[in-house]
Amino acid sequence: MDNVSHPFYDTLMALTQVSSNKCAGGFQKVFEHESSELRCKMKFAVYLPPKADTAKCPVMYWLSGLTCTEQNFITKAGSQLPAAEHGIIIVAPDTSPRGCNIEGEDENWDFGTGAGFYVDSTEDPWKTNYRMYSYVTTELPKLINANFPTDPDRMSISGHSMGGHGALICALKNPGKYKAVSAFAPICNPMQCPWGQKAFSGYLGSDRSTWEAYDATVLAAAYSGPQLDILIDQGRDDQFLTASQLLPDNLIAVCSEKKIPVVFRLQPGYDHSYFFIYSFMHDHIKHHAKYLNA
């Protein structure tokens, strides 16, 4: 177990390496650390392309969906080859705090453990630990930039389902912070779907006006930052599309009105699984590379 630390950061910034595997000429690693935002131990995966041996590289953050850990993405998405080709570091955090001993945290697959929804909770008993938005946008990038050969000015964000929602809101809430954003089957309008309503009422309370800060469709309507080119892939045979959980049409309509560029691709025959993500991962990393390596 290797400890990686940086003299400019306190002991909370220390990392413990959990695993390291040579992959596509670089290394797929997993680390563990004590999170100050989430007040628990957290794991994240980082892929270091061959280029990271000799130069600072841009970083793409990947946010996973409901029930996932960092393992789903690194074992199923096929991201390492295109990341190696384009010289991009990929960071994939877990989807929620774990083992916080909160009553009810393990009762539902779509709320609590594995379902942080990338918000900063304001409600008891969740508000102490469930601060995934601040973790993903502030604590984790600080940690990554302190310990790996990154270029802090070149970062982007992507994700799937709940993580697609997370990627979109992070980009829309922080104009200019991320050079590119993409998503696979994102939850585009969580205020209007069962998944989002359950999560937001639990984490944020009953005042729906507070939910607007974490809804991509609402955020897009108010966006006034630099141009953000969005790539979204959606499987046409996705069971959650027909169940009105994802609602991409709502986001597309707002982006069209606001002249926010969106490439939306409805992919015939594909579902919500990692088989779908694997099929188009090269396209997404190429999209990110266009802006990260410009």
Active site residue 288: no
pLDDT block averages, 10 residues each, the chain of length 294: 44 82 98 97 98 98 98 98 98 97 95 98 98 98 98 98 98 97 98 98 98 98 95 98 97 97 98 98 98 91
CA atoms within 13 A on the CB side of 259: 4
pTM: 0.95
Given 35, 161, 165, 215, the catalytic residue = 161
**Cβ distance 122 to 24 under 8 Å?**
no
DSSP structure string for the chain: --EE--TTS-GGG-EEEEEEEEETTEEEEEEEEEETTTTEEEEEEEEE-GGGGTS-EEEEEEE--TT--HHHHHHHS--HHHHHHHT-EEEEE-SS------TTTTSBTTBBTTB-TT-B--STTTTTT-BHHHIIIIIHHHHHHHHS-EEEEEEEEEEETHHHHHHHHHHHHSTTT-S-EEEES----GGGSHHHHHHHHHHH-S-GGGGGGG-HHHHHHT--SS---EEEEEETT-HHHHTTSS-HHHHHHHHHHHT--EEEEEETT--SSHHHHHHHHHHHHHHHHHHHT-
Per-residue pLDDT at 228: 94
Active site residue 272: yes
Closest residue by Cα to residue 281 from 41, 126, 72: 72
Given 33, 86, 165, 272, the catalytic residue = 272
Per-residue pLDDT at 9: 41
Per-residue pLDDT at 8: 39
Active site residue 165: no
Per-residue pLDDT at 245: 98
Given 238, 284, 287, 288, the catalytic residue = 238
